[in-house]
Homo-oligomer: A and B are copies of this chain.
Amino acid sequence: MTSQAFSLDANGLPDSTSAPAFSPLYQQIKGLILQSLQSGEWKPGEGIPSEMDLAARYRVSQGTVRKAIDELSSDNLLIRRQGKGTFVATHAAHQVQYRFLKLMPDLGNPKSEVPAQRKIIDCKRLRASADIGRVLALRAGDAVLQVRRVLSFAGAPTILEDLWLPGAPFKGLTAERLSEYDGPMYALFETEFGVRMVRAEEKIKAVVPDAAQCKLLEIKPQTPLLSVERVAYTYNDTPMELRRGFYLTTSHHYHNDLN
């Protein structure tokens, strides 16, 4: 790919052709950086070239590159570290163990939380149902990986998760691989399958568990649970995971900041 793939010249002058859709230079730079991230030119955890280097590469000023990186940084795709450089964000960072998990203990601060104990209940391949296929943008009958697992905190089963992954990108994922891996599941997806989850949407309801769920979570019937249905996306807004979690909220809560 050339370093001048965008349609404005270095001074931001628009094409002479009538172009009602105006896109600022820094947005186009942002797009180019995004492409390099998708293509794997810079991998999660690695550093990207310095602002000056990128400015030279794209033939724009440092300020323009800066604004592009600013946005990618606030989108949590890049992480800036003064004096060191700019790095590709990763779920494997030691700092925040579970970036998408918003369940917190009612008492005590989250940081002192002991790491969750994970147990894979089931992991099998099957054909996508209509519902699952639609959410994951698959064709009817495409292969899907289905996983069920339980997370326990301090020995108490607290989260039951069913998740569905498109078969193709996750070829070779087995219960063993999942069990052996010590760290966030999304970190394994990054290192083993090159799939980086960028954002997600959750729909939350209150539900009554069925018998199987009661048994796995060791609760008595009628104990209300939080149903958390998550769709996680990679770059390009491609859905790559459907996950339905059932959270026991007797001593935990789902935390959300509004602004």
Contacts and interface: CB of A to CB of B under 8 A. Distances in A.
Interface string A217-259: 0000010111001100000000000000001010001111111
Contacts of A117: none
A100 interface: yes
A259 B205 contact: no
Nearest to A259: B199
Given A76-B259, A256-B256, A226 B204 contact: yes
Given A100-B258, A259-B76, A222 B198 contact: no
A81 interface: no
Interface in A25-78: 74-76
Interface string A59-103: 000000000000000111000000000000000000000011010
A205 B222 contact: no
A224 B246 CA distance: 13
Contacts of A200: 257-259
B203 A258 contact: no
Interface of A: 74-76, 99-100, 102, 104, 198-208, 222, 224-226, 229-230, 247, 249, 253-259
Given A102-B256, A204-B249, 12 more contacts: A74-B74, A99-B258, A200-B258, A201-B256, A204-B204, A205-B254, A206-B206, A206-B225, A206-B226, A206-B247, A208-B224, A222-B222
